[in-house]
Amino acid sequence: MTSCISLKDVQLIQPDSNLKLDSKGMIEYNIPEYYIQKNDMLLINVSSVNPSTLGILSDFTTSGNRTFSQNQNQGVMVREDGKIELPRIGKIEVEGLTIKQAREKIEGEFYKIYTPEGTYIDVNLAGIEYTIVGETNNGVFRANKKDMTIIEAFARTGNNNIYADLKNVRIIRTTPDGSKQVNVDLTKESIMNSEYYWIQNNDIIVVNPRKEKVWGVGLNPLSVVTTVMGVLGTILGVYLFFDRF
């Protein structure tokens, strides 16, 4: 019976005395800075009171708010040398910068050519791409947003596997300096205080199997009893068979 999976093992975000609240009683979030990496896609939006002044850049924009795009309006890719390239402006190195730092750097280069009056520039990731493998629906998923939680990431898989070890979910995170990994417990609400509660671009989420799956035991008391009775019945049958001889 002790091998059965309890509700405490499968419920997400359960009450936890380690949860940190701020002075207003709100959950303290720790959203980490994202540092731009090679092959990231950046959206560069330009709004101008006089779009005609953008000149050659107009060929790389959509209507309304101007979006530099070299890949079907999905953004500008950070190349292997860590740089993006914009028409007339040229190459700009952005690898290792935060989104805010990249925005300021691109603005600086942009305003060397174009007047800042009546023009606004915004820079963001084109979206978040992450991978989930293990005891869930495996695949590479994409979200068109910059802030996303691991709970949202799980919800997008559309799968709730009772054999998933929610207390031991591994996250492999890529940074410009290399990769790091950490194990998190999604059954405790204090996970919301962790920087790993927030998915970053290129994260790999590994959902480990529970030991019950490895051992082949049941999910609940009834199935455990059924399994045990089946084993005992087999042993008894073998014993009676040989006892006749």
State pLDDT tens for residues 85-100.
988 889 999 999 999 9
Cβ neighbors of 73 (< 8 A, separation 6 or more) are 62, 67
Same domain, 47 and 70: yes
Q: Which of 125, 144, 166 is the last residue of a domain?
A: 125
In this predicted structure, the answer to whether residue 184 has a pLDDT above a threshold of 70 is yes
Question: What pLDDT digit, counting tens, does each position of 93-133 carry?
Answer: 999 999 999 999 999 998 888 777 777 788 899 889 999 99
Domain contains 80:
yes
The per-residue b/e assignment along 108-119, b for 16 or more CB within 10 angstroms, e otherwise, is eebeeebeeeeb
- Residue 33 and residue 71: Cα distance in Å, rounded? 26
Same domain, 46 and 121: yes
pTM of the model: 0.77
Same domain, 23 and 76: no
- Residue 15 and residue 160: Cα distance in Å, rounded? 20
Domain contains 231:
no
pLDDT band, very low/low/confident/very high, at 77 (cuts 50, 70, 90): very high
- Greater model confidence, 74 or 141: 141
Residue 86 in tokens: 């914009």
Same domain, 62 and 95: yes
Same domain, 117 and 132: no
Domain contains 238:
no
Same domain, 203 and 137: yes
pLDDT band, very low/low/confident/very high, at 25 (cuts 50, 70, 90): very high
Query: Residue 155's domain is classified under what CATH number?
Result: 3.10.560.10
Domain contains 239:
no
| Residue pair 164/207 in contact by the 8 Å Cβ criterion | yes
Domain contains 232:
no
In this predicted structure, the answer to whether residue 55 has a pLDDT above a threshold of 70 is no
Same domain, 88 and 203: no
Same domain, 55 and 107: yes
Residue with tokens 């079907």: 72
pLDDT band, very low/low/confident/very high, at 66 (cuts 50, 70, 90): very low
Strand partners, 206: 133, 170
Q: Which of 98, 125, 152 is the last residue of a domain?
A: 125
Domain contains 119:
yes
- Residue 245 and residue 233: Cα distance in Å, rounded? 19
Same domain, 155 and 120: no
Same domain, 146 and 104: no
Domain assignment of residue 195, given as a range: 7-31+127-215
In this predicted structure, the answer to whether residue 78 has a pLDDT above a threshold of 90 is yes
Q: Which of 43-52, 95-104, 108-117, 191-200 has the lowest mean pLDDT?
A: 43-52
Predicted pLDDT at 241: 57
Domain contains 230:
no
Is the dihedral angle over the CA atoms 76, 78, 80, 82 positive or is it negative?
positive
In this predicted structure, the answer to whether residue 62 has a pLDDT above a threshold of 80 is no
Query: Residue 71's domain is classified under what CATH number?
Result: 3.30.1950.10
Q: Which of 125, 160, 175 is the last residue of a domain?
A: 125
Three-state helix/strand/coil letters over the chain: CCCCCCHHHHCCCECCCCCCECCCCCECCCCCCCECCCCCEEEEEEEECCHHHHHHHHHHCCCCCEEECCCCCCCEECCCCCEEEECCCEEEECCCCEHHHHHHHHHHHHCCCCCCCCEEEEEEECCEEEEEEECCCCEEEEECCCCEEHHHHHHHHCCCCCCEEEEEEEEEEEECCEEEEEEECCCEHHHHHCHHHEECCCCEEEEEECHHHHHCCCCCHHHHHHHHHHHHHHHHHHHHHHHCC
pLDDT band, very low/low/confident/very high, at 240 (cuts 50, 70, 90): low
Q: Which of 38-52, 206-220, 227-241 has the lowest mean pLDDT?
A: 227-241
Same domain, 47 and 18: no
Q: How many domains does the chain have?
A: 2
Domain contains 229:
no
Same domain, 92 and 150: no
- Greater model confidence, 177 or 61: 177
